[in-house]
Amino acid sequence: MSSQLVLVTGVSGYLGSHVVDQLVAQGYRVRGTVRSAKVPANKEAFAVYGDAVEIIGMDDLVHGEYPDAFVGVDAVIHVAAPLAGRVATAEEALDVAIDGSLNVFRQAEKAGIRTFSYASSIVAHSVGFLEGDFTMLTGDEWLPITKEDVLNDKAASPFLVYKAEKVLSERAVWEFADQHPHIELTTVNPPFFYGPFAPGYKAPFQSPTASVASLSSMSMPMLYTLLHPHPADDASPSPCLVDVRDVARALVAALSAPPTPLPAEIAQFLVAHRPELAGRLNEKFKSTHIPGLKEVVDGRRLKEVLGLEVVPWRKTILDGVDALVELERVWKERGVTYARESDRIRVVG
């Protein structure tokens, strides 16, 4: 169990409230952010967790400065994002998604926070699944869309704006992580997510007329169409789905995942455990950072589904280097020389 304090943005939302539930269940303390006008209602809603959860106001994600919000915080889970069709203009939605995310990251990094978990979407990398294209996605592929594509389209649909939000904001935070190699960032890219409401979720009752469309979720209104024999539109639940509780679990699990080793850390590890090789290390890998280097695959499901234990990176490095040194010994015995200038092996003699 952990007693760490985690800042979670957007806790009043469908997913954010589940993130809080998962964190508290695992022993974390939570500082949740909502708009100031929502603070009283959310303090009441999250009172079910007692002293484990505190709620603070954060109104301007794009320009606001909130140094007190990050005091004592060990990690950040950034969930807050504008919902499609809920923001006045497409430009405002994109600004909140992109610049708002970066503002949170900058202030957190300035406060000394090093661990970040970020809620993105599968649409950041493809929307082919909506049309039956189930090609395996990788973290290196991005949906080709720009801010100009949206702003120049006067009839841009809410879903087009949403896609741009997710692509451009995730790319922005990865660029930030590349520029700050001392931080650990994990992004979670779910498809549509459904499921129950979390204990701390407060259903909206702002008007006498209830509407499931007012829920802070794109998915649940679609699921609700199953209960209407004559829906007002043709929206239907997507079969590309995941349970909202699993999305929350992934965001929380990222906080305790082992850090991705930097090249300098690998070099230092080798010097400590194979000091005889210290003079041979490539100078390039003694630097603290190589741009673009990041872990793009989470292997936890290997253990959960297949029962496989992933070999720790330190053992991987030592075993691999030892094998290469032994190979050099065999080459020497056989009169084989490694031709470094051509990156080929040639037989001498």
Sign of CA dihedral 321, 323, 326, 332: negative
Q: Which residue has the higher pLDDT, 122 or 336?
A: 122
Q: Which residue has the higher pLDDT, 202 or 191?
A: 191
pLDDT tens-place string over residues 83-131: 766 666 888 889 999 999 999 999 999 999 999 999 998 888 765 555 5
Residues whose CB is less than 8 angstroms from the CB of residue 139 and which lie 6 or more positions away in sequence, other chains included: 125, 294, 296, 297
Q: What is the CATH number of domain 5-256?
A: 3.40.50.720
The answer to whether the beta carbons of residues 244 and 18 sit under 8 Å apart is yes
Dist. CA 234–CA 92, nearest whole Å = 28
Q: What does the pLDDT average to over 9-35?
A: 95
Q: What does the pLDDT average to over 302-307?
A: 58
Q: Which residue has the higher pLDDT, 204 or 167?
A: 167
CA 80 vs CA 91, 118, 301, 330: distances in Å: 17, 9, 26, 58
Which of 23-27, 146-150, 240-244, 335-339 comes out lowest in average pLDDT? 335-339
pLDDT at 27: 96
pLDDT tens-place string over residues 265-283: 677 777 788 888 888 776 6
Based on C-alpha coordinates, what's the Rg of the chain? 24
37 has a pLDDT exceeding 60: yes
Dist. CA 118–CA 331, nearest whole Å = 48
20 has a pLDDT exceeding 60: yes
Band of the pLDDT at 262, cuts 50, 70, 90?
low
Strand bridging mode 75-78 / 192-194: unpaired
Helix (H) or strand (E) holding 7: strand 5-9
pLDDT at 200: 73
Q: What is the rounded average pLDDT for all residues in the chain? A: 78
Q: Which residue has the higher pLDDT, 71 or 321?
A: 71
* 303: helix, strand or coil: helix
CA 145 vs CA 82, 174, 187: distances in Å: 18, 17, 19
pLDDT at 79: 96
pLDDT at 233: 56
Dist. CA 221–CA 263, nearest whole Å = 46
Burial class (CB in 10 A: 0-12, 13-18, 19+), 72: exposed
Q: Which residue has the higher pLDDT, 124 or 182?
A: 182
Dist. CA 93–CA 51, nearest whole Å = 34
180 has a pLDDT exceeding 50: yes
pLDDT tens-place string over residues 202-223: 655 444 444 454 455 556 656 6
Dist. CA 316–CA 318, nearest whole Å = 6
Locate the domains of the chain by residue range.
5-256, 263-347
